[in-house]
Amino acid sequence: MKKKLYFIAIFIASSLFANNIDFQMAEKNPQRVAPSTPNQILSFNNSINEPMKSVVNIAAKRRVISNAANIPFQMFNDPFLRRFFGDQFNEQFNQNRIQRSLGSGVIISKDGYIVTNNHVIENADEISVTIGNNPKEYNAVIIGKDSDSDLAVIKIEGDDFEAIKFGYSTDLKVGDLIFAIGNPFGIGTTVTQGIISALNKDHVGINRYENFIQTDASINPGNSGGALVDSRGALIGINSAIISKSGGNNGIGFAIPVAMVKDVVKKLITDGKVTRGYLGVVIDDLKPNISKLYKHRTGALILDVAGDTPAQKAGLKRGDLIYMINNVPIKDRKALQNTIASFKPNETISIKLERDKKDMQLNITLGNRAGLVTSDANNGKFLGGLKLTELNADIIKRFRLNANASGVLIGYVEPNSEAEKVGFQPGDVIIQIEDIEIKNFADMQQAIRKYNKQLKRVYVNRYGQTIPFAIK
């Protein structure tokens, strides 16, 4: 009997508790509507017809020399091998071929300026453009490119092109209907539909300055550089990349927001390049377990301050929390990085920070990020066209270097660049710049700051031989 009463008591208590929950219910029997009348079709043709005229197809050609025998580059200059195979030893194993790539672009002015992704036209020797399904080809020239944002501007000759209308990044909302327009797989102009899945996405690993629009609209190979437009047909982003294990569309695509596009494009057209301010700190978001030690609940936390940088000279320290720049709130690491990048070198900014629960204000004159060494993953170029990689066990094995080798490897030399003309070759290992011995990127950084914009001696190890070069 006691057991039965116990279960009854539990049932009554549960029922009383459930009756206290105030569920927010939607209205019953929502109305379902047809697009309009039985004689009409729901269509966005009028919205996307205009931007489709502004999206172009881009074909890039690049002449490359491939090593058919997979022989390390340094061996081609080995005196012993040249003695037996002759001076044409290099040419016996190298093959010239044409590398082609397809992508998309967006006309942004009547006189033929086109924005696209940097990776679409990077290192191209020839660029041709077609508009829509018109077979006429235009030869394009590169106005400027920026690997850090993965944006580039090219230009074709003419004065009556259909320029796209720009939207506003601040107007975007998750769930907005959008369209991706591009040239997937080189089959011609194509439109796919989706929604905005997320905003302000970073940690994607695509480029340095990440603030992506995420969408489920199909973005496939060849769509890169194309337009992401809203339901009015206004440009809200430049399609950049997808996350895919197979190479096909998995419903996770990313576009560079129009606000960043406008900023970078203006600088590329005006100066031919993008120069960004440089602070010199390693930063992170303010994590929940650390935030209790600070008065401010948002900001960018300084983890390290590099030597001989604007940050060190101004007195920034590890543990400082930057929460405002020029009276603009800084919410997190990404906001600080993008804000600093929006300023030009030598600009003086006002930084508000918290240190030991006290508010401080510092005025800092920014440096120039263009002179810094970046990693191979970020398409970093140095010394007029070199792409560099730090040595590790895999690199040493692949290039058959000495097991005790130290320095920074030249993985690629841009064709027709200053570095190629001077004589640098892929496979060379930079071991010293002037009086600074090079073992890693940090040493390169120090050498760049010390000898920036002046003629300097660069020593490389090429298959056991030390060779000096002079370059700015």
Residue 16 is predicted with a pLDDT of 47
Long-range CB pairs of 88-95, under 8 A, 24+ apart, other chains included: 93/67, 93/68, 93/69, 94/65, 94/66, 94/67, 94/68, 95/65, 95/66, 95/68
Whether residue 377 is found in the same domain as residue 456: yes
User: Active-site residue 296, yes or no?
Assistant: no
Residue 83 is predicted with a pLDDT of 46
Query: By mean pLDDT, which of 14-18, 152-156, 269-273 is the weakest?
Result: 14-18
Query: By mean pLDDT, which of 92-101, 162-171, 192-201, 386-395 is the weakest?
Result: 92-101
- Region 370-385: mean pLDDT is 52
Residue where a domain terminates, one of 271, 289, 322: 271
With a cut of 60, say whether residue 13 has pLDDT above it.
Answer: no
**Count of the separate structural domains present in the chain:** 4
127 within a domain of the structure (yes/no) = yes
- For residues 324 and 303, give the distance between their C-alpha atoms in angstroms, rounded to a whole number: 17
User: Active-site residue 128, yes or no?
Assistant: no
- For residues 112 and 122, give the distance between their C-alpha atoms in angstroms, rounded to a whole number: 19
Whose structure tokens read 């437009």?
229
Q: Name the residue among 168, 255, 249, 251 with its Cα closest to residue 204.
A: 255
Residue 79 is predicted with a pLDDT of 52
User: Active-site residue 356, yes or no?
Assistant: no
Residue 375 is predicted with a pLDDT of 42
Whether residue 224 is found in the same domain as residue 256: yes
- Region 450-461: mean pLDDT is 82
On whether the CB atoms of residues 275 and 369 are closer than 8 A, the answer is yes
What confidence tier does 379 reach under pLDDT thresholds 50, 70, 90? very low
Residue 418 is predicted with a pLDDT of 82
On whether the CB atoms of residues 147 and 118 are closer than 8 A, the answer is yes
With a cut of 90, say whether residue 106 has pLDDT above it.
Answer: yes
SS (H, E, C) 383-417: CCCEEEEECCHHHHHHCCCCCCCCCEEEEEECCCC
- For residues 103 and 181, give the distance between their C-alpha atoms in angstroms, rounded to a whole number: 11
Whether residue 241 is found in the same domain as residue 291: no
Whose structure tokens read 């892929």?
426
- For residues 5 and 7, give the distance between their C-alpha atoms in angstroms, rounded to a whole number: 6
Whether residue 365 is found in the same domain as residue 380: no
Whose structure tokens read 């080809």?
137
Q: List helix spans (H) across 285-440.
A: 288-291, 310-314, 333-342, 393-398, 418-422
Buried b (16+ CB within 10 A) or exposed e, 272-289: eebbbbbbbbebebbeee
- Region 11-29: mean pLDDT is 58
Whether residue 65 is found in the same domain as residue 138: yes
- Per-residue model confidence as pLDDT tens digits over 402-449: 878 888 888 778 777 788 888 888 888 998 888 888 887 777 877 877
Residue 139 is predicted with a pLDDT of 92
Query: By mean pLDDT, which of 194-198, 236-240, 306-310 is the weakest?
Result: 306-310
User: Which pair of tokens denotes residue 8?
Assistant: 């009854």
The residue among 389 and 314 whose pLDDT is bigger is 314
Query: Taking the CB of residue 111, how many other CB atoms lie within 10 A of it?
Result: 14
With a cut of 50, say whether residue 63 has pLDDT above it.
Answer: yes
On whether the CB atoms of residues 109 and 130 are closer than 8 A, the answer is no
Domain that residue 387 falls in: 372-471
Active site residue: 104, 119, 197, 240, which one?
Answer: 119
Q: Name the residue among 164, 142, 137 with its Cα closest to residue 153.
A: 142
- For residues 189 and 167, give the distance between their C-alpha atoms in angstroms, rounded to a whole number: 21
Residue where a domain terminates, one of 155, 184, 215: 155
With a cut of 70, say whether residue 69 has pLDDT above it.
Answer: no
3-state DSSP assignment of residue 157:
coil
Q: Name the residue among 109, 130, 53 with its Cα closest to residue 266.
A: 109
Residue 229 is predicted with a pLDDT of 92
Residue 149 is predicted with a pLDDT of 84
Residue 361 is predicted with a pLDDT of 93
Residue 25 is predicted with a pLDDT of 55
3-state DSSP assignment of residue 469:
strand
With a cut of 90, say whether residue 113 has pLDDT above it.
Answer: yes
Share of the chain above pLDDT 90, in %: 16
Active site residue: 150, 230, 320, 443, which one?
Answer: 150
CATH number for 92: 2.40.10.10
What confidence tier does 373 reach under pLDDT thresholds 50, 70, 90? low
- Per-residue model confidence as pLDDT tens digits over 261-319: 998 999 899 888 888 888 888 888 888 888 888 999 889 998 888 777 888 888 998 88
H/E segment holding residue 257: strand 253-257
206 within a domain of the structure (yes/no) = yes
The residue among 22 and 110 whose pLDDT is bigger is 110
Residue 228 is predicted with a pLDDT of 92
Active site residue: 149, 169, 218, 224, which one?
Answer: 224
Residue 116 is predicted with a pLDDT of 93
Residue 17 is predicted with a pLDDT of 47
Q: Is 357 left (phi over 0), alpha (psi -120 to 50) or beta?
A: left
H/E segment holding residue 376: none
User: Which pair of tokens denotes residue 40?
Assistant: 């009409």
CATH number for 348: 2.30.42.10
Query: Taking the CB of residue 187, how many other CB atoms lie within 10 A of it?
Result: 11
46 within a domain of the structure (yes/no) = no
- For residues 81 and 101, give the distance between their C-alpha atoms in angstroms, rounded to a whole number: 36
Query: By mean pLDDT, which of 22-26, 48-52, 129-133, 383-387 is the weakest?
Result: 22-26
Q: Name the residue among 471, 441, 446 with its Cα closest to residue 376.
A: 441
- Per-residue model confidence as pLDDT tens digits over 319-342: 899 999 998 899 888 888 888 888
Cα dihedral 187, 189, 193, 197, rounded to 10, equals 90
Q: Could you write out the DSSP letters of every residue in 51-108?
A: HHTTEEEEEEEEEEEEETT---GGGGG-HHHHHHH-TTHHHHHEEEEEEEEEEEEEE-
With a cut of 50, say whether residue 188 has pLDDT above it.
Answer: yes
Whether residue 198 is found in the same domain as residue 133: no
With a cut of 60, say whether residue 91 has pLDDT above it.
Answer: no
308 within a domain of the structure (yes/no) = yes
- For residues 360 and 363, give the distance between their C-alpha atoms in angstroms, rounded to a whole number: 10
With a cut of 60, say whether residue 190 has pLDDT above it.
Answer: yes
Residue 99 is predicted with a pLDDT of 57
318 within a domain of the structure (yes/no) = yes
Long-range CB pairs of 186-191, under 8 A, 24+ apart, other chains included: 186/57, 186/102, 186/222, 187/222, 188/57, 188/132, 188/133, 189/52, 189/55, 189/57, 189/132, 189/133, 191/48, 191/52
The residue among 166 and 411 whose pLDDT is bigger is 166
Whether residue 342 is found in the same domain as residue 406: no
- Region 355-369: mean pLDDT is 88
Residue where a domain terminates, one of 155, 187, 207: 155
Whether residue 99 is found in the same domain as residue 119: yes
* Bridge partners, residue 107, by sequence: 114
